[in-house]
Structure 1
Amino acid sequence: MRFRYAFQKIVDLKANEKTQAEWILTEAIGKMREEESSLSELYSAKDEMIEQLQTASARTATISQLMMMQQYVDHIDHQIIRKNKDLEQAQQVVDMKQHDLAGKMMQEQVWNKAKEKALRQFTAAMLKKEQEQLDEMATNRFRRLS
């Protein structure tokens, strides 16, 4: 007789839910990495613009050119502030998805342990039944020989 776990579909469902949660977490981490990269690019652009502004102020440049460059630096600063908020939101999503994954992993583990326990009980019952059959065969053989 073969072991069949009555709740195998639930075990499979929990494994699938965990796999989906892993994919979703991976996607959220990818989004967070994109935000970090974008923020890094903004910082680089700001540094480059500040360097150009300093170079322009050292040589002869009109006030309107310097003001325009400074306005662009201010614009980049505003973008950095927005990008930091986006990055913070992406981090919160990653944290939430990690929490969800941990819950899914716990559920899967609970169901797997229940399955393992059922398998141990089944195995013990089968061994007991087999031993009883062997004992009965030995008893019958003893009766025939006596």
Structure 2
Amino acid sequence: MRFQYAFQKIVDLKSNEKTQAEWMLSSAIGRLQAEEKSLSDLLDNRERLAIQLQEAAEQKAPVSKIREYQMYVEHLEQCIVKKHTDVHHANVNVEMKKNQLTDRVLDEKVWLKARDKAKSSFQQSMLLREQSELDEMATVRFAIKAR
């Protein structure tokens, strides 16, 4: 006789939920990395523009050109502030997905442990049945030899 766990479909479902949570976490981490890269690019652009602004001021460039640089730097500052917010939200999302994954892993472990207990119990009962049959066979042989 073969072991069949009555709640195997639930175990499979919990396993699939865990896999899906892993994918969701991976996606959230990818988005966080993209947001961080975008922020890094904005910071690099601001740094380059600040250098250009400094050079323009030293070279006595027209005031309109300097003002144009300043306006663009201000725009980049606004973008950087918004990007910091985006990075923060992406970080929060990653933490949330980590917590969901942890919950799914625990859920799966509970069901796997329940299945393992059921299998162990089944194996124990099979061993007892087998031992009972062997004992009965030995008793019958002894009875036949005793006659």
Q: How many angstroms apart in 1 are the aligned matches of 2:78 and 2:2?
A: 67
Partner of 1:34: 34
Map 1:75-94 onto structure 2 (within 5 A). Answer: 75-94=75-94
- 1:1-146 correspondence to structure 2 within 5 Å: 1-146=1-146
TM value normalised by structure 2: 0.98
- Kindly state the Cα deviation for residue 50 of structure 1 after the two structures are TM-superposed: 0.3
CA distance in 1, matches of 2:28, 2:42: 21
SS in 1 for 2:15: helix
Instruction: Supply the distance in 2 between the matched residues of 1:8 and 1:64 (Cα, whole angstroms).
Output: 73
SS of the aligned residue for 1:143 comes to helix
Structure 1 gap segments, 5+ residues each: none
Unaligned runs of 5+ in 2: none
Q: Secondary structure at the match of 1:61?
A: coil
Q: CA-atom RMSD, angstroms? A: 0.5
Identity of paired residues, percent? 47
Distance 1:61 1:40 in 2: 29
In 2: Cα distance, 1:94 partner to 1:77 partner: 25
Runs of 4 or more, structure 1, over 4 Å off, are: none
Superposed displacement of residue 60, structure 1:
2.1
